[in-house]
Amino acid sequence: DAGVIQSPRHEVTEMGQEVTLRCKPISGHDYLFWYRQTMMRGLELLIYFNNNVPIDDSGMPEDRFSAKMPNASFSTLKIQPSEPRDSAVYFCASSLTRPSYEQYFGPGTRLTVT
Amino acid sequence: GNSVTQMEGPVTLSEEAFLTINCTYTATGYPSLFWYVQYPGEGLQLLLKATKADDKGSNKGFEATYRKETTSFHLEKGSVQVSDSAVYFCALSSWYGGATNKLIFGTGTLLAVQP
């Protein structure tokens, strides 16, 4: 089975530009998570969805960040406008049935905002 | 609230040395416990898990036992290899009162194994 797919793998953009990160979860998984990883703050949960519905977005840092899940096989994380402090690796993960079950992570998108 | 505390890194060992990475937790309800591993440039991968007290999770020579009395889930391996060099994350998830909780991660411990 294909794992969690993320695109792009690397993104370099200028401050003020809109950035869209994409994720395809493992087929059949009903939970989807977006994380951000930096050296300073470690691994942070931004938002998660259950059956395409956002459940907890308390980790989303600012209104500049938004996430959608229009269907069971696709999710986006958008940053508008982007800032240099948004530079990080963004991971998508999915799991089955409950979030207490193991999560499967994608390879991540490394975002650099100059 | 729920939290995970793991030992600071980096941990530097010679090949074939014994490894212990300490992890303790605070949780309400009935947590499941996990160890994830992140190799350079990759996402996190589940290494092992335990879902109830006294369970032992094991995989690839790594082991961890769920100790409710000491609220610990220490990761051990008898003989590390250079290929084990990675960042290791302890994590917990708890189902309490019908409400789901997020997966709570520790800060990660970098392991560097030298030949």
* Single-letter residue type at A97: T
How close does chain B come to A82, measured CA to CA in Å?
A: 23
* Single-letter residue type at B34: F
pLDDT recorded at residue B98? 52
One-character DSSP codes across A95-111: ESSSTTSPPEE---EEE
Q: Give the number of other CB atoms < 10 A from CB of residue A104.
A: 21
What does R_g of chain A's alpha carbons equal in angstroms?
Answer: 13
pLDDT by residue, tens only, chain B of 115 residues: 788 999 888 999 999 999 999 999 998 877 889 999 999 989 999 999 998 899 999 999 999 999 999 999 999 999 999 999 999 999 988 665 554 547 889 999 999 999 9
pLDDT recorded at residue A87? 97
How long, in residues, is chain A?
114
pLDDT recorded at residue B113? 97
pLDDT recorded at residue B96? 56
DSSP β-bridge partners for residue A45: A35
Q: Are A41 and A23 in contact (CB under 8 A)?
A: no
CA B105, CA B89: separation in Å to the nearest integer?
A: 6
Q: Using one digit for the tens of pLDDT, what is the confidence trace for A26-70? A: 999 989 999 999 988 889 999 999 899 998 898 998 899 999 999
Q: Between chains, do B44 and A4 touch, taking CB under 8 Å as contact?
A: no
| A100: contact with B, CB 8 A cutoff | yes
pLDDT recorded at residue B21? 97
Q: Using one digit for the tens of pLDDT, what is the confidence trace for A66-98? A: 999 999 999 999 999 999 999 999 999 998 876
Q: Are A2 and A102 in contact (CB under 8 A)?
A: no
pLDDT recorded at residue A62? 85
User: Can you read off the two tokens belonging to residue A96?
Assistant: 């089955």
Q: Between chains, do A100 and B102 touch, taking CB under 8 Å as contact?
A: no
Residue B84, helix vs strand vs coil: helix
pLDDT recorded at residue A8? 97
Number of residue pairs across A and B with CB atoms under 8 Å?
49
Mean pLDDT of A2-19: 96
Matching residue, tokens 């905002």:
A113
pLDDT recorded at residue A101? 67
pLDDT recorded at residue B29? 75
